[in-house]
Amino acid sequence: MVNLITVQQSNSQLKNTSIYPSEPVAVIAGGTSGIGKATAKAFAKSTVCPRVYILGRSQESADRVIGECKALNPKGTFKFIGADLSLIKNVDDVCERIKRYESRINPLILSTGMSLSNTVTEEKLHRLVAMAYYSRIRMAQNLLHLLSSAAPFARVVVVGAGGREGHVHTDDLQGLKVSLRHIRGHITAMITLALEKLAQEAPTVSFVHDYPGTVRTALFDRGGTWILQVFKAFLWLSERWLCVPIEECGERHVFLSTTPRYAPAEGSQITAKDSVFRGSDGQTGSGVYSVGWDCESSPSSVETLLATQREDGTADAIWRHTMDQFARITAL
Ligand SMILES: NC(=O)c1ccc[n+]([C@@H]2O[C@H](COP(=O)([O-])OP(=O)(O)OC[C@H]3O[C@@H](n4cnc5c(N)ncnc54)[C@H](OP(=O)(O)O)[C@@H]3O)[C@@H](O)[C@H]2O)c1
């Protein structure tokens, strides 16, 4: 486990301009509340003169986050871009806007929330998977060039369920018929394997897919299925023991976004090889990392599962399907 003191020590180095850029650019999708908001605040506090793009839908929530970030770091610039990111076309528009303002991005943090909905978007994507997978992969792919320009301080962090990779239903990649019980493993493996494809295109960028732990956020305050209601009651009773406090979660996500220990496949700045984490293919410093709430690499059972999915063609099938969906949607 990477303990909180190690996380905080690493984050406290970010104001040292020989270690980290003095004007880092962060893009945080889902930055208006919950984990994204906590990360935006921790990033504002830890860096010298950051420029942070906060993506979400609610202007009111964004105004609140921006006010809190400004209070933590008056030298920072915080900008809201409002859009429904369940739609690929909106993701493309948002990326075009960011490209107009910036020539590089340091961390891209993908923390948009999701609803357990079996509906489809107007672009004919399963809404749940659109938010968790397609929209995030599209944004990372669109911004890959800007990320590469920020190497060796470039990172994509996907807030999801790293370490919970499971069977991929290759006959139903959109997961429309996959049960609630199995959909998490399905989406999680799709994300990690797709990040590996992106890493091949941009080997100087590193990619982290993490599970944040159970964090008390608005995600649990919404209505929803009876399972969610039972889980909420359980959380309320056991929060002290089971949940990762939101501030700690923000600090851990700054660590995930900045420490050189999640090294890219090429151009790593780190010389102490033993402090680099093990990648999703089991190799130290391989550039893609599936990690748990404690920031440690996933167990070897996950690496074995992913290896099988690479060898049996699942990873290629996911990538082909994803590119086909993007091509279909952009042709609409
Ligand atoms: N909290 C946990 O215990 C936990 C555990 C494991 C994984 N996760 C994952 O972590 C991620 C963040 O969760 P959270 O707990 O921080 O959730 P949250 O508090 O509900 O925050 C979700 C964020 O996503 C934005 N968002 C939601 N739908 C959107 C849409 N259609 N378009 C654009 N932005 C949208 C929200 O902004 P607006 O309201 O402004 O649109 C908000 O900023 C989720 O993917 C969740 O599955 C969370």
pLDDT tens string 95-104? 999 999 999 9
pLDDT of residue 222: 63
Cα 29 to middle of ligand 1, angstroms: 9
pLDDT of residue 332: 86
What would the two tokens of residue 189 be?
């493996």
- In sequence order, the 6+-apart residues with CB closer than 8 A to the CB of 37 are 31, 61, 65, 250
Give me the chain's average pLDDT, please.
95
pLDDT of residue 316: 98
Cα 321 to middle of ligand 1, angstroms: 25
The residue behind tokens 């994204």 is 36
pLDDT of residue 256: 98
pLDDT of residue 224: 61
The residues of the chain scoring below 50 in pLDDT are none
What residues are paired with 29 via a beta bridge?
Answer: 55, 110
Instruction: Give, using CA atoms, the residue closest to atom 13 of ligand 1.
Output: 113
- In sequence order, the 6+-apart residues with CB closer than 8 A to the CB of 149 are 103, 104, 105
* pTM of the predicted model as reported, rounded to 2 decimal places: 0.96
- In sequence order, the 6+-apart residues with CB closer than 8 A to the CB of 142 are 91, 92, 95
Cα 84 to middle of ligand 1, angstroms: 12
242-283, pLDDT tens digit by residue?
Answer: 899 999 999 999 999 999 999 999 998 887 777 999 999 999
100-132, pLDDT tens digit by residue?
Answer: 999 999 999 999 998 778 899 999 999 999 999
Helices (H), 102-155: 127-129, 135-142, 144-149
CA distance 28 to 52: 7
Domains and CATH numbers, the chain: 4-218+246-330 (3.40.50.720)
What is the residue type of 38?
A: A
CA distance 278 to 66: 35
CB 25 within 8 Å of CB 37: no
Q: Which residues line ligand 1 (CB under 6 A)?
A: 30-36, 56-58, 61, 84-86, 111-114, 159-161, 211-212, 214-215, 217-219
